[in-house]
Amino acid sequence: MRHRAAGKSRIEAIDIARGAALVAMAVYHFGWDLEFFGYMDAGTTVTGGWRLFARSIATSFLFLVGVSFISPMKTGFAGELS
């Protein structure tokens, strides 16, 4: 679904996914902080499910950055990048 805001077309699913990635990143970093301050066992966030969680967050975030970068070019945005 596209939404027009301030004369610009936006894809809501990308915005929602980007928001979810940011929330997931905050959750991971909260866990990292708990480990750093000694409330979780050392090495918890770099093994098992936490490691997979971190890699999936980074992958989804970079994918969404790429989609957000390419999207305006596909819709006819002719702005200069320099």
d(Cα 44, Cα 64) in Å, to the nearest integer? 27
How far is the CA of 20 from the CAs of 3, 14, 36, in angstroms? 18, 10, 24
Q: Where residue 16 falls among pLDDT bands split at 50, 70, 90?
A: very high
Does 80 have pLDDT greater than 80?
no
Q: What is the dihedral of CA 51, 54, 55, 58, to 10 degrees?
A: -170
Per-residue pLDDT band for 65 (boundaries 50, 70, 90) equals: confident
Q: What is the mean pLDDT of residues 14-29?
A: 93
As beta bridge partners, residue 3 has 10
Structure confidence at residue 8 (pLDDT)? 63
Q: What is the pTM of this model?
A: 0.72
Give yes or no for a contact between 4 and 47, defined as CB atoms under 8 angstroms apart. Answer: no
Q: What is the pLDDT of residues 25-47, one digit of tens each?
A: 999 999 999 999 999 999 999 99
